[in-house]
């Protein structure tokens, strides 16, 4: 299982993913689910993946292969003129991989279902956020729904619904994303550390934060403990209210 979330804010884009892909009593695997591409001042792209690991790895590899070994007539993440076109390129890559491996996986009773969150900004345009599905089709985040989640999303959704709007400051968005992840980590063992955080700042058209948050990260532990204390305090205040 996994949990990835991305916020589309006026000040920029916030992306956060865990790294756990398999969980059991004696079987835990960790893989990076966040992938980034950047040309400072021109474009910044972040993708996060969920679903069949072989499928999503193949999609990421195909996208990178087209960048490393470009062929005439084939657009890449670095040549696409807009983020909408980038989303189409990612969707095309998903269809290629699904057509190649999907039937075989289905024949063996395995699911090929996969999804990708795509966040990015191109020079001359605003930050955009897309959710690409297994069929290669996609939807875009709007002012009414300024965030996307994939994977184990239910535990981390309430805080996003209560806090996030397009006008939410970037730093507040980062905190909300981390608390959303913390709530999921607390409630589901199939989501696990370390975390990968990527932040695109609209005014810079670049990835201004890109770091891994390890299990013993002091700041994250302090944030988690403070959130738990705040919730306990708020709950104590509620006990005097009768409905």
Question: Average of pLDDT values for 93-98?
Answer: 98
Q: How many of the other CB atoms lie within 10 Å of CB of 2?
A: 26
Domain presence at residue 242: no
> Is residue 47 in a domain?
yes
pLDDT at 233 over 70: yes
Q: Identify whether 240 is part of a domain.
A: no
* pLDDT surpassing 80 at residue 127: yes
C-beta separation of 21 from 31 below 8 A? yes
CB 8 within 8 A of CB 127: yes
Long-range contacts of 90-93 (CB under 8 A, 24+ apart): 90/47, 90/59, 90/63, 90/116, 90/118, 90/130, 90/132, 90/138, 91/132, 91/136, 91/137, 91/138, 92/136, 93/59, 93/62, 93/63
* Mean predicted confidence (pLDDT) in 73-95: 97
Strand order in 195-201's β-sheet?
Answer: 147-151, 3-9, 12-17, 195-201, 206-213
pLDDT tens track for 145-157:
999 999 999 999 9
CATH number of the structural domain spanning residue 113: 3.60.20.10
Predicted TM-score of the model (pTM): 0.95
Count of structural domains within the chain: 1
Q: Report d(CA 238, CA 214) in Å as an integer.
A: 34
pLDDT (tens digit, 9 = 90+) per residue, 17-33? Answer: 999 876 455 566 788 99
Token output for 44: 């910044």
Instruction: Specify if 175 maps to a domain.
Output: yes
| Arithmetic mean of pLDDT over the chain | 94
Residue 113: inside a domain:
yes
Does the residue 243 lie in any domain?
no
Cα three-residue angle 193-197-77, rounded to 5 degrees = 125
Residue 83 has pLDDT above 60, yes or no: yes
CA trace torsion 124, 116, 66, 71 (10° rounding) = -70
Over 90: is that where the pLDDT of 4 sits?
yes
Report the DSSP pairing between strands 138-140 and 128-132. Answer: antiparallel
| 214 found inside a domain | yes
| Number of other CB atoms surrounding residue 150 within 10 Å | 23
In a domain, 226, yes or no: yes
Residues 40-60 pLDDT 10s? 899 999 999 999 999 999 999
> Token pair for residue 116?
């990708």
> Residue 133 is part of which domain span?
3-235
Q: What percent of the chain has a predicted confidence (pLDDT) above 70?
A: 97
């Amino acid at each position: 299982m996994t949990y990835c979330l991305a916020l589309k804010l006026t000040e920029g884009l916030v992306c956060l993913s865990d790294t756990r892909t398999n969980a059991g009593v004696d079987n835990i695997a960790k893989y990076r689910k966040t992938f980034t591409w950047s040309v400072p001042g021109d474009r910044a792209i972040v993708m996060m993946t969920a679903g069949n690991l072989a499928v999503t790895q193949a999609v990421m590899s195909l996208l990178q292969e087209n960048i490393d070994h470009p062929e005439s007539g084939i657009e890449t993440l670095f040549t696409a003129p807009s983020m909408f076109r980038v989303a189409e390129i990612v969707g095309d890559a998903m269809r290629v991989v699904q057509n190649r491996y999907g039937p075989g996986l289905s024949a063996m009773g395995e699911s090929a279902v996969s999804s990708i969150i795509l966040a990015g900004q191109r020079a001359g345009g605003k930050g955009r956020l897309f959710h690409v599905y297994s069929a290669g089709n996609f939807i875009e985040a709007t002012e009414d729904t300024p965030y996307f989640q994939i994977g184990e999303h239910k535990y981390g959704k309430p805080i996003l619904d209560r806090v996030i709007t397009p006008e939410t400051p970037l730093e507040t968005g980062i905190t909300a994303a981390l608390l959303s992840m913390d709530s999921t980590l607390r409630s589901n063992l199939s989501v696990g550390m370390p975390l990968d955080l990527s932040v695109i700042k609209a005014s810079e058209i670049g990835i201004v934060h890109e770091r891994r948050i390890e299990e013993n990260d002091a700041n994250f532990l302090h944030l988690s403990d403070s959130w738990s204390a705040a919730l306990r305090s708020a709950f104590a205040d509620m006990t005097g209210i009768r409905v």
